[in-house]
Structure 1
Amino acid sequence: MTYIVTVQDAVTAFADFMEPTNAELDAIELESPLILAEVDLLDAQIKALDHPENEVDTRRIRRARNRVLAARRDLTNRTAAATAPGGAA
């Protein structure tokens, strides 16, 4: 018995629509500071899990949270400025 299988994955594995568009790449680049700040926060939280709570870990997590908030604020301000007509706030 011969099975009939589809080869669609092999044919379309490298199709143009599988790649991110320029707009998607620009959006990723715009959000990269926020993504990196969130990764730093996650790293700080993971480090704090390995041992009992101490002041250094508390400060590290607080600073990382502040960086995430600042990155979110900057991203929001950039996107709001880009979409506001005539530069009005």
Structure 2
Amino acid sequence: MNNIVTVQTAVTAFADWIEPTNAELDAIELESPLILAEVDLLDAQIKAMDHPENEVDTRRIRRARNRVLNARRDLANRTVGASTAGGAA
């Protein structure tokens, strides 16, 4: 008995719309410092869940939150500067 298999995945695996565009890759690269800061914050929060709260964990989480806020500020400033760079404002 021969199995009937669809070839849709083989046909659509190489479609242009599956890969991210250059603009999407640029946006990911622009947001990567914020993404990494958020991952660090999540790691600090996960480490703090394993045991009772202590001063080291509190400082680690506070510093990670500050890095997230700084990364968000930098990203917002970069996107505002990029959108008004045309000079029409």
TM-score, normalised to structure 2, is 0.88
Unaligned runs of 5+ in 1: none
SS in 1 for 2:52: coil
> How many angstroms does 1:6 deviate by?
4.1
Q: 1:49 to 1:87 in 2, by over 3 A?
A: farther
Paired position in structure 2 for 1:63: 63
**Secondary structure in 2 aligned to 1:20?**
coil
**Equivalent residues of 1:41, 1:61 under 8 A apart:** yes
- The size of the alignment, in residue pairs, is 87
Q: Give the percent of matched residue pairs that are identical in Structure 1 and Structure 2.
A: 84
Residue-by-residue CA offset, 1:6-64 (whole Å, 9 max, x unaligned): 42222111222211000000000000000000000000000000100000000000000
3-state DSSP of counterpart to 2:65: helix
**Cα distance, 1:20–1:69 mapped onto 2, change above 3 Å:** same
Q: TM-score, normalised by structure 1?
A: 0.88
